[in-house]
């Protein structure tokens, strides 16, 4: 297969993954709604380029962390055959903590940018 065809195939796999993420992961849908709200607020308040950059980075961070967390959970559940093993539980909890940390940082960035404009 040629290099270009391989890259196109790679993008197709990634797009299928994005579709699976949002169809199968309720938290990803919640995070997507939060991202859309942040974008709408950004447009309403005419935020600066630097503020847009911060919003874009944290949106990407949260969604990427959720994708990684979801993939890890799927693999862990498959490997453990849905049985509970302390090491797998810890790995899943730590991955979920990564999403929570990213979401808290995103919320802080949103508060720093939008609260002064709202109040």
DSSP code, position 82 = T
Q: Please, is 106 exposed, middle or buried when counting C-beta atoms within 10 Å of its C-beta (0-12, 13-18, 19+)? A: buried
Distance of alpha carbon 46 from alpha carbon 42, whole angstroms? 6
Q: What is the pLDDT of residue 94?
A: 98
Phi and psi angles of residue 83, each rounded to the nearest 5 degrees, phi first: -85, 155
pLDDT tens string 27-73 = 999 999 999 999 999 999 999 999 999 999 999 999 999 999 999 99
Domains parsed from the chain with CATH numbers:
26-118 (1.10.287)
Q: What is the pLDDT of residue 1?
A: 66
Distance of alpha carbon 94 from alpha carbon 83, whole angstroms? 18
pLDDT tens string 90-104 = 999 999 999 999 999
SS3 85: coil
């Amino acid at each position: 297969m040629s290099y270009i065809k391989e890259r196109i195939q790679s993008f197709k796999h990634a797009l299928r993954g994005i579709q699976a993420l949002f169809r199968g992961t309720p938290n990803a849908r919640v995070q997507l709604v939060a991202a859309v709200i942040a974008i709408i607020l950004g447009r309403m308040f005419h935020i600066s380029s630097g503020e847009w950059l911060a919003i874009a980075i944290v949106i990407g961070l949260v969604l990427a962390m959720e994708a990684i967390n979801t993939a890890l959970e799927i693999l862990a559940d498959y490997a453990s055959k849905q049985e509970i093993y302390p090491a797998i539980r810890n790995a899943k909890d730590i991955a979920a903590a990564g999403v929570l940390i990213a979401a808290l940082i995103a919320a802080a960035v949103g508060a720093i940018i939008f609260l002064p404009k709202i109040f």
